[in-house]
Structure 1
Amino acid sequence: MNQVKEAKKPLQAERNADKPESQVKAMWEALKTNKAAIAGMYLILILTVVAVVVWASELMGMRILPYDPNDSDLSQSFVAPNSQHWFGTDQLGRDIFSRVLDGTKISLFVGIAAVAISMTIGVVFGSIAGYRGGKTDTIIMRFMDMMLAIPSILLAIAFMAALGKGIDKAIIAIGLVSIPEYARIIRGSILSAKENDYVQAARVIGNNDYSIIFKHILPNVVSSIVVRATLGVSSAILDTAALGFLGLGVQPPYAEWGDMLGRARGFIFSAPYTLVFPGVAITITVLAFNLFGDGLRDALDPKSRLR
């Protein structure tokens, strides 16, 4: 009996190692060793807390920010950074520090919402193309290649010209231009996964295509999508800032970092601080998501974990 129990222990340990909880634990242990990724994660948490607090205070009618980000006072135009206005004021006398903090919720909201749109549509089209194959795959992927042939910012500008200006239009435009990236990733993952034994077994016992794709294949390739989505938020924030800089994205009275840069570019020599602080906010946010995304990619890669 003792020998039988001893023989069962390695088998049980092997089963436990294959459990999702063990995989998540191994990923987290690998992620913790990457100091850059942890720093990016903490920066994202701080930015998220700032965005949520600012948004919640607006809903409750409270003023958390030192000044109203949209309150202009021409008598206070171009005040240099001081103890009252930490980041100075812009050409309309608005407090730049309050506007930078208020812009956090806009940039994060647009970035996350745009990624949600592109990821959802891209996963659907990529799953259909990869699983069906044949003419369906050819038609879908050639259309995606056509979109990829055009630089994303130019395609976003074209969508904005067709849709019009506004925060909702910016979300749709930025979300649409990123669809091909997710479609190609999920298609490649499904092409390599659909020939596995568990997929063949699911097909034999009578599961339909929808069940096989969304219950058996996608859960096993979700890691690549999670990594791309994390990196995609930084790209979406950059596209949002670019559209705002050109005057096509988020419109006043919203405080958006790209729009702040665009309106302050004429004062680069007389009041450089009006550009520096929104630019630093964009840089820190994009860097945080890139650091965390790179670390997450390495942590989810079994070969990297072994190294």
Structure 2
Amino acid sequence: MTKKKAEQPTESSQAAVVLEKPESQLKEMWESLSEDKAAITGLVVITFLALLAIFGPLIMPYDPNFSDMTKSFVQPGAEHWFGTDQLGRDIFSRIIAGTRISLTVGLSAVAISLTVGVVLGSIAGYSGGKTDTIIMRFMDMMLAIPSILLAIAFMAALGKGIDKAVIAIGLVSIPEYARIVRGCILSVKENDYVQAARVIGNKNSRIIFKHILPNVLSSIVVRATLGISTAVLDTAALGFLGLGVQPPAAEWGDMLGRARGFIFTAPYTLIFPGIAITLTVLAFNLLGDGLRDALDPKFRKN
């Protein structure tokens, strides 16, 4: 009886440690992230952009698609903060409207590439053999082509439009996630806890999604955060070429493309969309770098 009572607190304390471990890891990650001023700056900018995308229609001074040719190329001022474009549309309102489009396309494209990439990378890394070879050689073929050229090819096949842009941008990023997930799974699939899960009869799908992927989640989160910035940039590139979001929708890349002929007569028509793209991409990159430093012990600052 005495021995049994002595063992009980030890088991309870071990259970408490196991239960507290995720919370302590999350707290440690946040403490590390909060010390990174660049990452916090990126997080603040992203939060502001998200609020702008949600509540933008409530604060737009003008209809972003309303054209008034009598007010073409009005200089930035009290009436039109960012000026007007060649069709007399308020640039400030169009920048706000473009925030929702860019973030929607970026997040949706990353969701597609992340989902497909994680599945393919998991199958390749865990199965190995011919399955691994076939999947990864196909991924290598896609990586051999510059992503923007591959996106243009997909757009040519799918057609123009915001939904087509989401699919095209999502597809070109799949190989990056597949390779990351495959590499992470190869590094942990022979660990003792994975072998134990296999011995007791767990299905392969359960082992992958319950025991392996949670342990490589940090790499996936960091790449997804950085992937949003790439998706926003690709969206702007497709819009600049006239292949992405179609008029009259306000999209930053399309605004740049249509204003490039007025770089000397009305430079503000290019400056403000360019600043919006730069700030968005920079913010996600800063946050992604900060998350990498916070989630990976090798990069943590002492």
Report whether the alignment pairs 1:170 with 2:170. no
**Cα displacement (A) at 1:19:** 1.1
Counterparts of residues 27-106 of structure 1 (less than 5 Å): 27-54=29-56, 57=57, 63-106=58-101
Q: Which digits, 9 at most, give the CA deviation of each residue in 1:270-293, with x for residues without a partner? A: 000000000000000000000000
TM normalised by structure 1 equals 0.93
Give the superposed CA RMSD.
1.9
Report whether the alignment pairs 1:187 with 2:182. yes
**Cα displacement (A) at 1:200:** 0.6
Q: Which digits, 9 at most, give the CA deviation of each residue in 1:88-124, with x for residues without a partner? A: 0000000000000110000000000000000000000
Report whether the alignment pairs 1:211 with 2:206. yes
**Cα displacement (A) at 1:16:** 5.6
Q: Which amino acid is the alignment partner of residue 89 of structure 2?
A: R
Report whether the alignment pairs 1:148 with 2:143. yes
Q: Which digits, 9 at most, give the CA deviation of each residue in 1:224-274, with x for residues without a partner? A: 000000000000000000000000000011100000000000000000000
Q: Which amino acid is the alignment partner of residue 167 of structure 1?
A: I
Give structure 2 stretches of 5+ with no counterpart.
Answer: none
CA distance in 1, matches of 2:77, 2:225: 36
**Cα displacement (A) at 1:8:** 5.5
CA distance in 1, matches of 2:219, 2:41: 21
**Equivalent residue pairs, number:** 297
**Cα displacement (A) at 1:15:** 2.5
CA distance in 2, matches of 1:83, 1:108: 28
Report whether the alignment pairs 1:119 with 2:111. no
Q: Secondary structure at the match of 2:239?
A: helix
Q: Which digits, 9 at most, give the CA deviation of each residue in 1:174-198, with x for residues without a partner? A: 0000000000000000001110111
Whether contact under 8 Å (2:110, 2:170) holds in the other structure is: yes
Q: Which digits, 9 at most, give the CA deviation of each residue in 1:54-112, with x for residues without a partner? A: 3xx4xxxxx53100000000000000001010000000000000000110000000000
Q: Which residue of 1 aligns with 2:194?
A: 199
Q: Secondary structure at the match of 1:19?
A: helix
Report whether the alignment pairs 1:279 with 2:274. yes
Give structure 1 stretches of 5+ with no counterpart.
Answer: 58-62
Q: Which residue of 1 aligns with 2:28?
A: 26
Pick aligned residue for 1:289 from 284, 287, 294: 284
CA distance in 1, matches of 2:73, 2:269: 8
Q: Secondary structure at the match of 2:300?
A: helix
Whether contact under 8 Å (1:182, 1:228) holds in the other structure is: yes
Q: Which amino acid is the alignment partner of residue 261 of structure 1?
A: L
Q: Secondary structure at the match of 1:232?
A: helix
Q: Which residue of 1 aligns with 2:261?
A: 266
CA distance in 2, matches of 1:146, 1:303: 32
Whether contact under 8 Å (1:16, 1:22) holds in the other structure is: no
Q: Which digits, 9 at most, give the CA deviation of each residue in 1:13-64, with x for residues without a partner? A: 992697111111110010011000000000000000000113xx4xxxxx53
Q: Which residue of 2 aligns with 1:138?
A: 133
Q: Which digits, 9 at most, give the CA deviation of each residue in 1:152-190, with x for residues without a partner? A: 000000000000000000000000000000000000000
TM normalised by structure 2 equals 0.94
